[in-house]
Structure 1
Amino acid sequence: MGEIAFAGWCFVPFQNCSVLNKKMMMKMKMKKKRKKQEWQCHHALTWKRSQPSIKNQSDTYSSTTSTDIPLYESPGASFDQYLEDKPRVFNAIFPDKQRCHQLTQEEWRIQMLPIEFLFLTARPVVDMRLRCKRGGRDYPPQVPLDITKVLELDVTRWQLRGLDNFLEPSHFSLGIKGALYSYRQGTRSRLKGQLEMSISFVPPTMLALVPEDVRRRLAESVLTRLVENMKHKVNNSLLADYSKFKRERPKHSV
């Protein structure tokens, strides 16, 4: 039966064979073309995935500073007592009342000074929380557990203002953490503290064109200036206000 079928196929008129061959050739060409297109498509997708995705890459920078200076405490006006008055401590650290207002007993909203980075100028607004901790409970890692009282600073919320929509990063986070306490050795005391500021953001397209090492160098320089400025206020405004606090205590105790 197979031989008869084969013979019958061999004796198909030449014209019909020609048409059949053309159809087969067209089908083979179409199949070959589809394979080539599939390969090109696969190659293009592979190349796209292998390129660095700027959108998903986040820049993270941080700067840390510390305070360690003599602190002259009075028996009736210890630094621990001073830290209990959180509004007073906050006003000493952030004396510009036009840029700050109190939200709760522990939180304040601060319009920070503009941050200039390359051709961008941003104005962060942060909610800062001040809390007193004692007895070694939930102390920051760098604070010894035998410290009697610690004032902890922490940013709870933030907002970035001053950027056009096309310059605003798709992701931005700002972190500020700090601690202040009196470190006592015998009759001597020292004011100690740490402050860390960090930012993380996905750079907009224009900023992504700047080499990463240049962005890092500039960003860390900006953060260092900010934390050093806050440290300067602690070392001057806070100590000056604490001295005033000590002078006021005898008046209240009479």
Structure 2
Amino acid sequence: MAVSSTVLSSPAMFRRCPTMATELRSRRWKVKCQLSPVKPSKYSSRISTDVQLHESPQALFDEYLEEKPRVFEAMFPDKPKSHRLNEEEWRIQMSPINFLFLTARPVVDMRIRCKSNGRDYPSDIPLDITKVLELNMIKWELQGLDRVMEPSDFTLGVRGALYPDRGGRHTRLKGRLEMNISFVLPSVLALVPEDVSRNVANAVLTGLVDNMKHKVIESLLADYSRFKNERNKTRS
């Protein structure tokens, strides 16, 4: 049924028909939302690692990867900020994310799985690799932004893989780590230029991923050296 402009602009009609007025306002709001949807900003960062791995025949890196609790503690050594949920999952309080004048503290549930014989390998890993350690974030919580953002306004993704590659003369430790974020800016940041928010978001992501890479690789290699020494002592 058509509604004339007279009806739409008549205060008397609104007073007589409050239900109609409410419905019309609701329709206007829905139309407005449909015409000008808010698109989330999306950013991603990916880095890879490729370093020489000094393996020992008495303590292969494959055997080390099988000890998932030990591997996790080596990758995330800050014990007060992490704890084990079950055989494959851990909860980690990550480093704070500073975006302009807002600070968020991500808390993520990470799943660590050890895969072998080419079964269910990520698509970019050769099937002849003997063992792959796969990391996937399965749940997250963003603390600190409760008052300015809805949970649905922000998504976070973290995944990675690590494996020994024995295809050349020397064994190489290879891997990659990806982090993705998608968010709708809160109203307090609505006037921030897009190029400024993009540069800040990319800098934040790159810093987080690069920091995780160096900490994980250095800590993991150091613990693998201890693992080799323990095995050699046991078998000597």
TM-score, normalised to structure 2, is 0.84
Query: 2:36 matched to 1:52?
Result: yes
Within 5 Å, give how 1:11-22 maps onto structure 2.
none
Structure 1 residue 47 displacement after superposition: 8.6
Residue range with higher mean Cα deviation, 203-212 or 109-118: 203-212
Aligned residues of 2:61 and 2:164 also touching (Cα < 8 A): yes
The number of residue pairs the alignment matches comes to 217
Aligned partners of 1:175 and 1:45: how far apart in 2? Answer: 32
Aligned partners of 1:189 and 1:136: how far apart in 2? Answer: 18
Structure 1 residue 175 displacement after superposition: 0.7
Letter in 1 for 2:129: I
Structure 1 residue 90 displacement after superposition: 0.8
Gaps of 5+ in 2: 10-23
In structure 2, the CA distance between the partners of 1:110 and 1:47, relative to structure 1 (3 Å rule), is: closer
Equivalent position of 2:166 in the other structure: 184
Structure 1 residue 51 displacement after superposition: 5.1
Aligned partners of 1:235 and 1:138: how far apart in 2? Answer: 24
Within 5 Å, give how 1:147-158 maps onto structure 2.
147-158=129-140
Percent identity, aligned pairs only? 60
Query: Could you report, residue by residue, the CA deviation over 1:10-36 in whole angstroms, capped at 9, with x for unpaired residues?
Result: xxxxxxxxxxxxxxxxxxxxxxxx754
Residue range with higher mean Cα deviation, 152-161 or 202-211: 202-211
Aligned residues of 2:75 and 2:217 also touching (Cα < 8 A): no
Aligned residues of 1:169 and 1:201 also touching (Cα < 8 A): no
- Flag the structure with larger Rg: 1
Aligned residues of 1:183 and 1:191 also touching (Cα < 8 A): yes
Aligned partners of 1:136 and 1:38: how far apart in 2? Answer: 70
Aligned partners of 2:201 and 2:69: how far apart in 1? Answer: 31
Query: 2:108 matched to 1:99?
Result: no
Equivalent position of 1:19 in the other structure: none
TM-score, normalised to structure 1, is 0.78
Within 5 Å, give how 1:197-236 maps onto structure 2.
197-236=179-218
Higher helix proportion (structure 1 or 2): 1
Structure 1 residue 253 displacement after superposition: 2.7
Decide which of 113, 116, 121 is 2:98's aligned counterpart.
116
Aligned residues of 1:80 and 1:149 also touching (Cα < 8 A): yes
Helix, strand or coil: the match of 1:191?
strand
